[in-house]
Amino acid sequence: MNKRLYTEAWEKDKTLVHIMPDTPEIELARQNKINLSNTLYKLSLEEAKKKGYDLRLDAIPIRAAKASRNIASDYIYKTAYRDQVGHHIGYRCLQDDPRAVLAAHVAKMQSEREYKKDFEKWKTKFNTPVDMLGLLLAKKCQ
């Protein structure tokens, strides 16, 4: 086939193809073009600058936001501090507090009692592997 005839046929057919402008793919591509357009992004920034937004670090709204953040932080810190104030009065360490010492002693006794009880329970049990049974029977028979 002749290349010239082939390209002429393609040029003629190329103008006859028609895509509907409201197909979902075309609409999606149009929206993606708007969303990803760098010029539109910069255009919106320029419009924001024209409206008079003050984006400096020492702008009044930014200062007000920082001040309110610091006030809220101080308030939360002080309420937590006030809640903890009465809990540790009078004792410098855990050993000075008789209630804490008593609680620690009781926990220690309970732990020792549980350990001894568990030891007595498992003291009489003897576990051997299956291949040791023959050896045990031989010892008994002697």
What pLDDT does 76 receive? Answer: 79
Q: What is the pLDDT of residue 52?
A: 74
Q: Cβ(95)–Cβ(101) under 8 Å?
A: yes
Q: What is the pLDDT of residue 65?
A: 87
Question: How would you write the pLDDT of the chain (142 residues) with one tens digit per residue?
Answer: 689 999 998 888 888 777 777 888 889 998 888 888 888 778 877 887 788 766 677 777 788 888 888 888 888 788 877 777 666 566 777 777 788 888 888 998 888 888 888 888 888 777 767 677 777 778 788 7
The rounded distance, in Å, linking the Cα atoms of 81 and 88 is: 12
Rg (CA), the chain: 42
Residue 108: phi, psi to the nearest 5? -65, -45
